Structure formats: C-alpha cells, structure tokens
Amino acid sequence: MYLDLFNECVRGRWYNQTARKVDWKIVDGLMFFRQSVESQDWIRNFLAAIPIPVYLKAWQWVPLGAWLTYRQVREIARKEVIGYVGYSQGGWPAVFASLENGLPAMVFGCPRSTSRPELYDQVSAYKNSGDVVTKLPPWAKEAGAIVNLVGEIEKPSDMPMAEWAMQHSPEIYRQRLG
C-alpha cells in the first residue's frame, strides 16, 4: 500500500499546476503533492532556510519556502478529500493541510517543517535514515510520527554517486518501501 501511494505521488501524470507551479492532483479521494521539478521549486527550497512565524492552529515557526509552497494550494487543499500524500517538497503542503483540515497525511522524504512537531499528530513521515533532505532546514523539526525505513538496498548501476549518497532518490525509497 505505501509503495503504491509513493509511486502515485512521484508519477508525473495528471498533475494540475498552480500559477506559481505547485503540482497537485486528486486520486481516489487522496490529494497528492509532487516533489521539486520546476526552477521555482528550487527557489522555495532555498527560502526554507528562513524561519517565519505562522499561526496554523497555534503559533509556530515554519520555513518561508514551505509556507510559500502551501499558500499556493491552501484553498485547493480544502477540497473534499480523505487525506494527503507528498514526497520531498510536496510533503510540506501535505503536512500543513493535514493540520489545518484535520485529515491524515503520509509524507516521504519530507524536509523539516515546523518548530511545533507535537501539533502534527495525523502525519506519518517516512524517511530513509541517511536522507539529507529530511535534515533540512537544520533549525526546524520533522512533523508527525517518524517512520525510519530500513532494509538492504542496492545502488542502481546508472545512479550517480552523489544521488546515492543523498539517499533521497525515488529509487531508494521504492527499494525500502517494496
């Protein structure tokens, strides 16, 4: 089940895109948010280093880039769905929508997103132990119940060493979820 949700999330088909290029889709009642694919996504990744105060059920510090991503889909995330799924940067809107709308979220390789992780009790955050993205930004904390993915994995022969070292690629997540 988890592998199926992850594969649907990273699959590039049928995504809608906001004016500022945040990708989302609804499949079987779940809202999916995709990882960084556009140049604007990388700008938001860099802006994540800047903490800003936000009131979302309670005051908390959140990464500016994460908040800018979520603001693009905030109204859309209120559609009638049963939950949220996100991978990498797509985890941010899933995490915030879960808190704001009281629905469960499942995120994979999600960057840190809050100073108040205890607020996010409906979030399940799956991560590879060596995934550098889940350690950023260093001032924030991971939201939700953390599930460390373990198990033997093999480096795909065509994967660059730098990508392998980051432990964030979809291929590595698929091996651990499969």
Instruction: Decide if 101 contacts 75 (C-beta within 8 A).
Output: no
Average pLDDT, the chain: 95
**Homologous superfamily in CATH for domain 2-177:** Alpha/Beta hydrolase fold, catalytic domain (3.40.50.1820)
Instruction: Decide if 95 contacts 83 (C-beta within 8 A).
Output: no
Per-residue model confidence (pLDDT) at position 127: 97
Tell me the per-residue pLDDT of 20-40, one tens digit each, with 9 for 90 and over: 899 999 999 999 999 988 777
Q: Is the pLDDT score of 42 beyond 90?
A: no
Distance CA 105, CA 18 (A): 21
Whether this prediction's pTM lies above 0.75 is answered by yes
Domain boundaries, the chain: 2-177
Tell me the per-residue pLDDT of 72-124, one tens digit each, with 9 for 90 and over: 999 999 999 999 999 999 999 999 999 999 999 999 999 999 999 999 999 99
Residue with tokens 């500022």: 20
Distance CA 16, CA 176 (A): 28
Rounded to 5°, angle at Cα 128 from 122 and 134:
65
Per-residue model confidence (pLDDT) at position 37: 81
Per-residue model confidence (pLDDT) at position 79: 92
Q: Is the pLDDT score of 156 beyond 90?
A: yes
Per-residue model confidence (pLDDT) at position 122: 98
* H helix or E strand, kind and range, residue 57: none
